[in-house]
Chain A
Amino acid sequence: MADDKDVLRDVWFGRIPTCFTLYQDEITEREAEPFYLLLPRMSYLTLVTDKVKKHFLKVMKAEDVEEMWFDFEGTSLKWHYPIGLLFDLHASNTALPWNITVHFKNFPERDLLHCPSNSVIEAHFMSSIKEADALKHKSQVINDMQKKDHKQLWMGLQNDKFDQFWAMNRKLMEYPTEEGGFRYIPFRIYLTMSDRPFIQKLFRPISPDGHTHTLGDLLKEVYPVAISNDDESKRYQVVIHGIEPLLETPLQWLSEHLSHPDNFLHISVIPAPSD
Chain B
Amino acid sequence: MFCLSELEDTVRVPPSDLNLPLEVAIKKALQKLFLDKVLSIGLCVAIYGIKSIEGGFVLPGDGAATYKVVFRIVVFRPFVGEVIAAKFKESDSNGLRLTLGFFEDVYVPAPLIPTPNRCEPDPYNRNQMRWVWKYGDDEFIIDDSCQQIKFRVENISYPPVPTERAEDAKPFAPMVVTGTIDDDGLGPVSWWEACAPISDDED
A and B from one complex: no
